[in-house]
Amino acid sequence: MTSLDATGTARERGTADTLRATSGARTSSDTSTTGKERRGDPVTTANQNTVVDDTSVSALLERGRRLATPGLRAAVARLAPPMDTVAAYHFGWIDAEGRPSDADGGKAVRPALALLSAEVAGAAPETGLPGAVAVELVHNFSLLHDDLMDGDEQRRHRDTVWKVHGPAQAILVGDALFALANEILLEPATVEAGRATRRLTRATRRLIDGQAQDISYEHRERVTVEECLEMEGNKTGALLACAVSIGAVLGGADDRTADALEDYGYHLGLAFQAVDDLLGIWGDPEATGKQTWSDLRQRKKSLPVVAALSSPDPAATHLAKLMRTDAKKSQAEFEDFDEAEFAARAALIEEAGGREWTSQEAQRQHTTALAALDPVDMPGHVRDQLTALADFVVVRQR
């Protein structure tokens, strides 16, 4: 599928060099364990010395969830039936029968960042609340549509909305959440609200660009590492970048500060997505709430796959041959594969160096994200919290 030639970009040549080193250091015995055994291994990044203050990060995420949830519930209450009920199910507030539930509502990273960014500007965290709610609504709009387009049947350990309530409701509720995000953000009718909304709409357009790229790559034989990173920057980085700047904008920060925060968020998003790609192949379903080998089942051209196919290792050639054969199969035929066939593909990706390269890329993006904060003047405890959140992103298991 992907090969690197003399016309490849510098980034791609660097990828090939790294993969040559990482794949060459392996023997076939390194990937001889069964798919089940390998899938249970923790997903790790290159820097194993990263220490995360779980208490600090948990408190930040809980604050984001606690402060944003009332706003999210109030926003959903504006929707006409049955969209309000469908949205409530998606957020985990009720079960499929409409009974109250306390299901997993997600990590709340984006609301946490929006509230924290208000503090960068010297404002109270609550100043960022409209931004926290708006960004989380856009994020969930994308999840509702992504689950339908990808055919995902599970999210957060429950059936997805389209499976329970049908594709039409998933589309309608997703659209409604997107409209609500802009409505809520514009309600204060201030200059800062207008600036924040411009950033949100731009991020949303890029998110949609990234989803379109992601879908198109599933049907292409060749995807470069550079293209994959561009897609993931759009699909994940853009909204995280918005989340970490929107609270600061609402708090009166200038564009220079907001842009620097966006740089941090963008690279944090790339680190986040690199870890997500590792979890999409090797993550423990008990932790992720998704099917085993979920990204392989969907034939996604995620970073580990694209990086592996860029490798000079013989395993990459074998993998490319298998994937060309896979591309000719219908989705029904492909889903009939047994666990061993998906495990074999995952083993080839690892043998070719795709797993290790992606782990290292997550750490590279983490380092770049933190460097973007250097020129920003902010309270020391806020900088420490932004650093802790970045560390959490690269060591998480879900």
Per-residue pLDDT band for 279 (boundaries 50, 70, 90) equals: very high
- Comparing 216 with 260, the larger pLDDT belongs to 260
Query: What is the average pLDDT across 28-44?
Result: 46
**Does the structure show a pLDDT above 70 at 317?**
yes
| Per-residue confidence (pLDDT) for residue 398, from 0 to 100 | 66
Res 146: pLDDT: 94
pLDDT at residue number 171: 98
Share of the chain above pLDDT 70, in %: 85
Tens-digit pLDDT profile for residues 41-55 = 555 554 545 555 666
pLDDT-derived band at 397 (thresholds 50, 70, 90) equals low
The average pLDDT across 257-279 equals 96
Compute the radius of gyration of the chain from its Cα atoms. Answer: 21
Contact 274, 393 (CB under 8 A): no
- The alpha carbon of 295 is separated from its chain's Cα centroid by a whole number of angstroms, namely 13
Mean pLDDT, rounded, for 376-391: 95
Which domains are present in the chain?
10-395 (1.10.600.10)
pLDDT (0 to 100) of residue 10 = 42
Given a contact cutoff of 8 angstroms between Cβ atoms, the answer to whether 33 and 337 are in contact is no
Q: What is the pLDDT of residues 58-88, one digit of tens each?
A: 999 999 999 999 999 999 999 999 999 999 9
Cβ-based neighbours of 204, under 8 Å, separated by 6 or more: 138, 178, 181, 239
pLDDT at 13 over 60: no
